[in-house]
């Protein structure tokens, strides 16, 4: 077959084993009480770590499972079916902390940081956003001033997923204000037990409540120069490269959330009778199920296709090859496109599931009300969909058309 969509045997095996583990060990422990709490779920994170779910992308020589971006997509899709908070915890740890250390780290940094992160003994986080720099990420102000063989970090980071529990953080800070984001920002690997690092508050969010979101203060935090990640002045590229992969796998999470909502609606529609028939026999309900499953299928094809590109892109970076500008831009655009498509699809599918379930769709205990609170968040984090649209639209207009 010239164009086929099926997982490689190792990925198919991983998916099957993962589903078995999640259905037996994790799903039964998730209920309304779980959803409502804001405590970081160590009781679930520990068995997940023991299954190797915190180092799926990284090669075995650094302690990972070596399943790459496709394996990671499968992980977030399956995890999000169970709970989107859990998929966000693993996403912030893997896609935007562990991945940039693997891609841009020195051999010493990889040997020191990757094995405990892969074992889930250390939790990772990514700190870019600041009070005045959300969508305008190039406007960060956290300063990293050189002092001998150290950098001294001062500033505030907000909305840091896993920020309150992380051991290792990838932090973007300004090393040369005169040069702007491209040239003046550097990435650092920071240990949270260093002096001058403090968690100042936690967000109280409507959804993905078990994925904690924290504000962090750096107050004279001394970072040794060997903890510069990548080259000095290239930290913005490090962050953007991590977000390219992050957006595509985030899309896989949205697909998992949407699939769960669809399956709950199907179960309900087959069981609930009105006018003497299961509501699943009514054409309007069937049309909704048809649209929901069609939209999931489209997003799923596009997302895993994009993950193939991300895999190739990351392999080139990890091998120290020069990635062509055209390929970098292609991956970046595709991942932005699938993020828009999958996150908005998930919000719409969840809303349709809620319609099908009538009053139960809005009630706790049926799983879909929670999806309504969780799904919009994927439209915001890792860059809002409006910003993704702005960039894609500008590029397509400049290119004078859309070349596939
Ligand atoms: C649950 C959660 C977890 C997060 N985790 C992390 C994390 O781990 N690390 C991290 O660094 N950050 C994290 N973030 C931050 C996230 O990336 C930002 O919230 C996001 O980039 C948007 O920034 P903002 O919230 O400040 O919104 P703003 O930038 O203030 O935007 C507000 C609105 O204005 C729109 N807007 C802004 N500028 C334009 C424009 N030029 N054109 C059109 N529309 C525009 C936006 O699209 C949005 O709708 C997280 C956020 C959330 C909600």
138, part of any domain: yes
Per-residue confidence (pLDDT) for residue 211, from 0 to 100: 97
392: tokens are: 């894609």
214 and 199 Cβ atoms separated by less than 8 Å: yes
**Predicted structure pTM score:** 0.97
Task: Give dist(CA 177, CA 387) in Å, integer.
Answer: 24
Residues having CB within 6 Å of any atom of ligand 1: 92, 126-129, 134-135, 159-161, 213, 377, 380-384, 386-387, 390
Domain that holds residue 46: 9-123
Per-residue confidence (pLDDT) for residue 54, from 0 to 100: 98
Task: Give dist(CA 267, CA 270) in Å, integer.
Answer: 5
Nearest CA to ligand 1 atom 40: 387
Helices (H), 22-93: 32-36, 42-50, 68-82, 84-93
Please give the distance, rounded to the nearest whole angstrom, from the Cα atom of residue 80 to the centre of ligand 1.
Answer: 21
- Convert the pLDDT of each residue in 8-59 to its tens digit: 999 999 999 999 999 999 999 998 889 889 999 999 999 999 999 999 999 9
Task: Give dist(CA 305, CA 325) in Å, integer.
Answer: 20
Per-residue confidence (pLDDT) for residue 33, from 0 to 100: 86
Q: Whose CA is closest to 239, among 400, 382, 353, 55?
A: 382
> For residue 154, what is the domain's CATH number?
2.40.110.10
1, part of any domain: no
pLDDT tens for the chain, 404 residues: list them: 566 778 999 999 999 999 999 999 999 999 888 988 999 999 999 999 999 999 999 999 999 999 999 999 999 999 999 999 999 999 999 999 999 999 999 999 999 999 999 999 999 999 999 999 999 999 999 999 999 999 999 999 999 999 999 999 999 999 999 999 999 999 999 999 999 999 999 999 999 999 999 999 999 999 999 999 999 999 999 999 999 999 999 999 999 999 999 999 999 999 999 999 999 999 999 999 999 999 999 999 999 999 999 999 999 999 999 999 999 999 999 999 999 999 999 999 999 999 999 999 999 888 899 999 999 999 999 999 999 999 999 989 988 888 76
Note whether 261 and 360 are same-domain residues. yes
Residue to probe by mutation, ligand 1, list 384, 389, 392, 393, most atoms within 8 Å of CB = 384
Task: Give dist(CA 102, CA 189) in Å, integer.
Answer: 12
- Catalytic (active site) residue 382: yes
Nearest CA to ligand 1 atom 31: 135
Q: Three-class SS of residue 26?
A: helix
146, part of any domain: yes
Q: Which residue has tokens 């990890």?
A: 318
Note whether 352 and 317 are same-domain residues. yes
Task: Give dist(CA 127, CA 160) in Å, integer.
Answer: 6
From 172, 198, 229, give the residue that closes a domain: 229
Q: How far is CA 239 from the centre of its chain?
A: 13
């Amino acid at each position: 077959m010239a164009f086929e969509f099926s997982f490689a045997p190792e990925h198919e095996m991983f998916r099957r084993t993962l589903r078995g583990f999640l259905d037996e060990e994790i799903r039964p422990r998730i209920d309304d009480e779980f959803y409502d709490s804001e405590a970081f779920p160590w009781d679930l994170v520990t068995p997940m770590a023991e299954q190797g779910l915190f180092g799926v992308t990284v090669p075995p020589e650094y302690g990972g499972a070596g399943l790459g971006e496709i394996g990671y997509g499968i992980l977030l899709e399956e995890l999000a079916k169970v709970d989107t908070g859990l998929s966000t915890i693993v996403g912030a740890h893997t896609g935007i902390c562990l991945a940039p250390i693997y891609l841009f780290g020195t051999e010493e940094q990889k040997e020191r940081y990757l094995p405990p992160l892969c074992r889930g003994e250390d939790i990772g986080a990514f700190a870019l956003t600041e009070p005045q720099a959300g969508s305008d990420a190039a406007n960060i102000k956290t300063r990293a001033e050189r002092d001998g063989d150290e950098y001294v970090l001062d500033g505030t980071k907000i909305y840091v997923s896993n920020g309150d529990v992380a051991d290792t953080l990838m932090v973007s800070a300004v090393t040369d204000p005169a040069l702007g984001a491209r040239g003046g920002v550097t990435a650092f690997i920071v240990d949270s037990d260093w002096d001058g690092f403090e968690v100042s508050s936690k967000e109280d969010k409507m959804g993905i409540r078990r994925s904690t979101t924290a504000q962090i203060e750096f107050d004279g935090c001394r970072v040794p120069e060997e903890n510069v990640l990548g080259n000095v002045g290239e930290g913005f590229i490090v962050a953007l490269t991590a977000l390219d992969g992050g957006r595509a796998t985030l899309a896989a999470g949205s697909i998992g959330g949407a699939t769960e909502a669809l399956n709950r609606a199907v179960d309900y529609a087959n069981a609930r009778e009105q006018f003497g028939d299961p509501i699943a026999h009514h054409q309007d309900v069937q049309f909704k199920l048809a649209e929901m499953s069609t939209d999931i299928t489209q997003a799923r094809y596009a997302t895993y296709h994009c993950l193939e590109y991300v895999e190739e892109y990351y392999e080139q970076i990890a091998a120290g090859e020069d990635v062509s500008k055209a390929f970098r831009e292609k991956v970046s655009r595709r991942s932005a496109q699938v993020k828009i498509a999958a996150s908005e699809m998930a919000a719409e599918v969840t809303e349709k599931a809620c319609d099908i379930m009538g009053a139960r769709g809005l009630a706790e205990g049926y799983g879909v009300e929670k999806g309504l609170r969780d799904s919009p968040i994927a439209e915001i984090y890792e860059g809002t969909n409006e910003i993704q649209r702005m960039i894609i639209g500008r590029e397509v207009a400049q290119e004078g058309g859309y070349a596939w």
